[in-house]
Chain A
Amino acid sequence: MSDDAIPTDLAERFADGITTAADGAWEIAVSAEQLRETLAFLGADRQPAFDYLVDIFAVDYGEQFEVVYHLSRPRTHEMVRVCSRLSRQKPSVQTVTDIWAGASWPEREMMEMYGVAVEGHPDPRNLLLPEGWKGYPLRKDYEYPDDHPWLSRDELHDKPGEYLKQHPVEE
């Protein structure tokens, strides 16, 4: 990670909004409205652009969600972390697949795991979960399904003592 000083163009543009995190990444906290513009600047307009997409994911903080974008440049150890807090009621971001083609899958994962809507995504299907999965698994308030056709809870494995009492093994 970069222990170097924040580059002047980023310091000018973001002023107090950019800090150096504990692990050396340059952390930029933006509001949901400025998110797309910030990412477009970092990934396309800025020279040299942060064109290496490291990761995109969300975090559930309880009252709010946060989407985090990790960007870097190849052959350097510079890393930018763009964070944006979203409301829990209707979390929504715009896609960045036009800037980084590799954003497609992480955004799909964010949509299915957290229920964060990604506007403009070219292929908004579930990525890891089967089609039609109810609920958003990585949310803190996710309830595990009781009535899934092939993944239902199993009394024998969940509560073996009770199950065995009700179904005693015959001698």
Chain B
Amino acid sequence: MSDTYAGQTDELLINMGPQHPSTHGVLRVLLRLDGEIVLDADPDIGYLHSSLEKIGEAKTWQQFVPYTDRFDYLSAINNEFAFVRAVEKLLGVRVTERCEYIRVIMAELQRIASHLMYFTSMGLDTGAVTVYLHCFRDRERLIDLFEDATGQRLLYHYLRIGGVRNDLPHDFVARVRDFIDYFPARLQEYDNLLTRNRVFRGRMEGIATISREEAVRHGMSGPCLRACGVDHDLRKIIGYSVYPQFEFEVPVYDTCDAMARHLVRCDEMVQSLRILKQATDKLPDGETNVKVPRVIKPEPGAVYERIEGPRGEVGCYLISDGSDKPLRMRWRPPSYFNLQPLPQLMRGGYVADTVVAIASLDIMLGDIDK
């Protein structure tokens, strides 16, 4: 009996998600397996589609700002940054120096918080459950800072057209400096717990590779692209806001695998601390907001604003027809383009590596599904 079936295998079509602890949101991946080897993967998105681009045409320019938070809800400040800068460009408004510094400080704090969340899910997905608690302990410190400055823990609606909602609390800078002193030791801890862990490295090295050429043709950006040896960081290349005034490096690795993406994010946290230190040292006094009309009606025109979010290039294309609502609000999400080559990352790997592949891309379904 057993000889009749010897050597015959069947392909298995299995569903991963949309409710799944490791898909980083509601992502469904249809896997075609031959035993434990993935023959093909087909990501199915749209479970979180909230027609935000349609809403963008129905709300006024200021009304849409809180909606931008909800795209990539783990790095809300960066989303607001892109949208608010785009509208300011349409209006021809220049914000004050203090406002730019505050925005950069918030953006970098948000970058660290977002990467800590990545660490959490990376640990969880590879089986290292304790890392979650360590990262969240530190993330709570950042969230407390955000709560004191903006009133919100996660979705801030802090950056406004023409400035920010309110000036920083009086002890904010001191607490950021405390965090800068406190955090490097924690980074060392994460290094020992995760990055240098032999089991973790075995699960990450050589897994979910994509070639440099393919990554660029797919429009991948952020840590995913910098892990393929492409030195592309919009903070350096465009130098938007006041980033040119700070000295920092852009970590680039070239093994194109999940471990490289992980290392890029680890190093980015160190560089964010550098930017924060310089920004808090040089934070100028002055007004935070400029006067912007109550009913905003930009001149007809179009602008595309790109910024570097924790996950990659966040873009906002706004078309104004002179009225108080956008004619078109197009969001260019980083995770959308980062997720597209998922079949290539998964093909030929094991089922257990599918989870690592998704986690290493650090995607955000709110961004992907808009």
Contact = CB atoms under 8 A, between A and B. Distances in A.
B315 A104 contact: no
B327 A102 contact: no
B218 A53 contact: yes
Interface string B243-255: 0000000000000
Residues of B in contact with A, size category: 35 or more
A77 B49 contact: no
B332 A22 contact: no
Nearest to A81: B304
B196 interface: no
B337 A77 contact: no
A138 B42 CA distance: 25
Interface stretch (A68-76, A85-93, A152-160): A68-76
Nearest to B230: A74
B330 interface: yes
Contacts of A57: 317, 330
Contact of A79 (B218, B304, B341): B304
B45 A127 contact: yes
B51 interface: yes
Nearest to A125: B44
- Secondary structure call for the A interface: loop
Residues of A in contact with B, size category: 35 or more
Interface string B293-337: 000000001111110000001010101000000011010100011
Given A23-B304, A53-B337, A128-B45, A102 B230 contact: no
Contacts of B319: 59
Interface string B180-219: 0000000000000000000000000000000001101111
Contacts of A105: 336-337, 340
Given A52-B216, A53-B219, A101-B340, 18 more contacts: A23-B89, A25-B304, A51-B213, A53-B218, A54-B332, A55-B332, A70-B304, A70-B315, A70-B317, A74-B216, A75-B232, A77-B238, A101-B341, A102-B219, A105-B336, A113-B53, A127-B45, A137-B54
16 contacts: A1-B306, A22-B303, A23-B303, A25-B304, A53-B217, A55-B219, A59-B319, A59-B328, A70-B304, A75-B232, A76-B237, A79-B304, A101-B214, A128-B46, A130-B46, A140-B57
Interface of B: 45-46, 49, 51, 53-54, 57, 89, 213-214, 216-220, 225, 230-232, 234, 237-238, 301-306, 313, 315, 317, 319, 327-328, 330, 332, 336-337, 340-341, 369-370
